């Protein structure tokens, strides 16, 4: 059996970052990633100042690395095809909202981690099961097409996303927050004639909405919020049918752009992401710890998943690095797990509360939406409400709590 101080299941941003910190501090760490190619799996790419700060702390400066990203410098909101506002959001105005290439970012973190001899990356291995010793998790069984391998660790950390094997095998108790929506994602060439530069926009229409963001490959990432479970019927109708529905409810210039993209076959194949929002009631069990989406699944609202996972990694490292350098017993480790959860829970709760609101608002009675939106438009002209909104956006962009690498 391969022996490590820490075994991390999931090579996404949080897991890769934690492995990098462990390795750079002399901790022997195994990182397991089921994909051979990071581009084969969709992961959050919206990078807030809070997430960029974490990357800076582990020595990754996006401006000086071979990592593509695109800044968003303006946000527009449309309703039934008409522009209703351009919120003056400070961190967007300063160019601090970036859409970064996850494959390139993850390859860079792994590359830097590989400089440390105590880092082992199992690329293309699926975590199949947990290994136990005296009723406590002591390792992970992994496999690829050719072999099974058993990895042992003082700690096993599930950073393996919303479909977490670690969460499933240990049957963690989960608190679920009902979300009536899914998101259908696809890409089109960036609509330069519609919104030149690098602008994002929301397009609201009765019982639905579009979230459209410029991304690093000169495309626009389009997220269409649809009723939960409705994609099967949309798929049967065919792409032309649902694109036509979007066009009918979009600003004219964007509608024309979609028609042109459809004619030229420039609309990518769609995929559906469920707007799951949940949180395990306790983040550790039987010696294993959950972090990131495995512990608290985020939905797409506000682009928080990537940033929260990165911040989880920092707090986890602060507590576990000192223990893993010693012969800490299971009582010490379990107590550290509790402290990690306690330190992160405040921010996670507040972000999930914010994320729970928009999907519910979209699917309320369409006549009520018609009534509410004009009122909101008027209210936000008052400075007192703008100051309140600025404080909320500041927390969303910079984090609700201070997170700093201290080890």
Residue that is last in its domain, among 357, 372, 398: 357
- Write down the pLDDT at residue 289: 98
What are the tokens at 383?
């400075």
The residue among 85 and 11 whose pLDDT is bigger is: 11
The residue among 319 and 272 whose pLDDT is bigger is: 319
Residue that is last in its domain, among 221, 246, 274: 274
pTM of the model: 0.92
**How many whole angstroms from its chain centre is CA 176?**
18
- Examine the pLDDT at 207 and tell me if it is beyond 80: no
- Examine the pLDDT at 367 and tell me if it is beyond 60: no
350 and 203 fall within a common domain:
no
- Write down the pLDDT at residue 285: 97
- What lies within 8 Å, CB to CB, of 126 at 6+ separation is 34, 142, 143, 144
312 and 351 fall within a common domain:
yes
Rounded to the nearest 10°, the torsion over CA 241, 246, 251, 252 is 0
- Write down the pLDDT at residue 386: 58
155 and 51 fall within a common domain:
yes
Domain contains 299: yes
Average pLDDT rounded to a whole number, residues 240-267: 94
User: Is beta strand 219-227 parallel, antiparallel or unpaired with respect to 271-274?
Assistant: unpaired
Average pLDDT rounded to a whole number, residues 327-354: 95
Domain contains 161: yes
User: Would you place residue 227 in the very low, low, confident or very high pLDDT band (cuts 50, 70, 90)?
Assistant: confident
Rounded to the nearest 10°, the torsion over CA 121, 322, 348, 220 is -30
Domain contains 370: no
Phi, psi of 330 (to 5 degrees): -65, -30
255 and 290 fall within a common domain:
no
Q: Domain containing 144 — which CATH number? A: 3.50.50.60
188 and 53 fall within a common domain:
no
Lowest mean pLDDT among 178-182, 245-249, 271-275, 322-326: 178-182
230 and 215 fall within a common domain:
yes
Q: First CA to last CA across the chain, in angstroms? A: 29
Domain contains 288: yes
User: Would you place residue 220 in the very low, low, confident or very high pLDDT band (cuts 50, 70, 90)?
Assistant: very high
Residue that is last in its domain, among 220, 239, 274: 274
169 and 221 fall within a common domain:
no
Domain contains 364: no
Mean predicted lDDT score pLDDT of the chain: 90
For the stretch 14-62, pLDDT in tens is 999 999 999 999 999 999 999 999 988 878 899 999 999 999 999 999 9
Domain contains 55: yes
Q: What's the chain's Rg over C-alpha atoms?
A: 22
- Examine the pLDDT at 325 and tell me if it is beyond 80: yes
What are the tokens at 68?
């593509």
- Examine the pLDDT at 407 and tell me if it is beyond 80: yes
Lowest mean pLDDT among 104-118, 156-170, 386-400: 386-400
Count the domains in the chain: 2
Three-state SS letters, the chain: CEEEEEEEECCCHHHHHHHHHHHHCCCCEEEEECCCCHHHCCCCCEECHHHHHHHHHCCCCHHHCCCCEEECCEEEEEECCEEEECCCCHHHHCCCCEEECHHHHHHHHHHHHCCCCCEEEEECCEEEEEEEECCEEEEEEEECCCCEEEEEEEEEEECCCCCCHHHHHCCCCEEECCCCEEEEEEEEECCCCCCCCCEEEEEEECCEEEEEEECCCCEEEEEEEEECCCHHHHHHHCHHHHHHHHHHCCCHHHHHHHHHHHHCCCCCCCEEEECCCEEECCCEECCEEECHHHCCCCCCHHHCHHHHHHHHHHHHHHHHHHHHCCCCCHHHHHHHHHHHHHHHHHHHHHHHHHHCHHHHHHCCCHHHHHHHHHHHHHHCCCHHHHHHHHHHHHHHHHCCCCCCCCC
- Examine the pLDDT at 385 and tell me if it is beyond 80: no
169 lies in which domain range?
Answer: 2-62+101-177+276-357
Domain contains 53: yes
Average pLDDT rounded to a whole number, residues 343-364: 81
34 and 122 fall within a common domain:
yes
- Write down the pLDDT at residue 83: 87
- Examine the pLDDT at 168 and tell me if it is beyond 90: yes
Q: How far apart are CA 231 and CA 276, in angstroms?
A: 15
27 and 109 fall within a common domain:
yes
270 and 339 fall within a common domain:
no
267 and 289 fall within a common domain:
no
- Write down the pLDDT at residue 357: 75
166 and 195 fall within a common domain:
no
- Write down the pLDDT at residue 382: 58
Q: How far apart are CA 208 and CA 238, in angstroms?
A: 19
Lowest mean pLDDT among 92-106, 162-176, 216-230, 359-373: 359-373
- Examine the pLDDT at 119 and tell me if it is beyond 80: yes
- Write down the pLDDT at residue 11: 96
Domain contains 282: yes
């Amino acid at each position: 059996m391969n022996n490590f101080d820490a075994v991390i299941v999931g090579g996404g941003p949080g897991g890769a970052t934690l492995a990098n910190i462990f390795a750079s501090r002399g901790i022997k760490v195994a990182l397991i990633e089921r994909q051979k190619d990071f581009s084969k799996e969709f992961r959050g790419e919206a990078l807030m100042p809070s997430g960029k700060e974490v990357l800076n702390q582990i020595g990754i400066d996006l401006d000086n690395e071979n990592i593509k990203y695109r800044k968003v410098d303006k946000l527009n909101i449309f309703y039934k095809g008409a522009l209703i506002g351009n919120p003056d959001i400070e961190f967007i105005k300063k160019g601090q909202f970036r859409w970064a290439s996850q494959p390139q970012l993850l390859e860079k973190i792994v590359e830097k981690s590989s400089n440390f001899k105590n880092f082992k990356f199992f690329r293309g291995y699926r975590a199949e099961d947990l290994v136990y010793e005296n009723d406590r998790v002591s390792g992970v069984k992994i496999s690829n097409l050719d072999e099974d391998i058993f990895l042992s660790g003082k700690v096993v950390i599930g950073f393996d996303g919303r479909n977490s094997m670690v969460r499933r095998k240990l049957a963690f108790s989960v608190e679920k927050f009902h979300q009536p929506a899914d998101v259908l994602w696809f890409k089109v060439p960036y609509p330069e004639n519609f919104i030149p530069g690098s602008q994002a926009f929301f397009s609201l229409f009765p019982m639905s909405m579009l979230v459209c963001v410029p991304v690093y490959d000169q495309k626009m990432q389009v997220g269409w919020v649809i009723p939960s479970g409705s994609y099967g019927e949309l798929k049967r109708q065919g792409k032309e049918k649902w694109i036509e529905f979007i066009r009918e409810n979009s600003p004219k210039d964007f509608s024309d752009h979609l028609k042109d993209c459809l004619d030229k076959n420039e609309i990518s194949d769609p995929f559906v992401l469920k707007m799951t929002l949940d949180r395990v009631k306790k983040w550790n069990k039987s010696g294993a710890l959950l972090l990131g989406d495995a512990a608290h699944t985020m939905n797409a609202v506000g682009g928080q998943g990537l940033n929260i996972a990165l911040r989880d990694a920092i707090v986890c490292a602060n507590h576990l690095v000192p223990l893993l350098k010693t012969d800490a017993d299971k009582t010490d480790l379990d107590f550290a797990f509790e402290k990690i959860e306690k330190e992160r829970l405040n921010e996670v709760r507040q972000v999930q509360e914010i994320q729970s609101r928009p999907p519910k608002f979209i699917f309320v009675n369409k006549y009520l939406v018609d009534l509410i939106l004009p009122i909101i438009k008027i209210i936000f002209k008052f400075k007192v409400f703008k100051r309140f909104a600025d404080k909320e956006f500041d927390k969303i962009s910079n984090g609700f709590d201070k997170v700093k690498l201290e080890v």
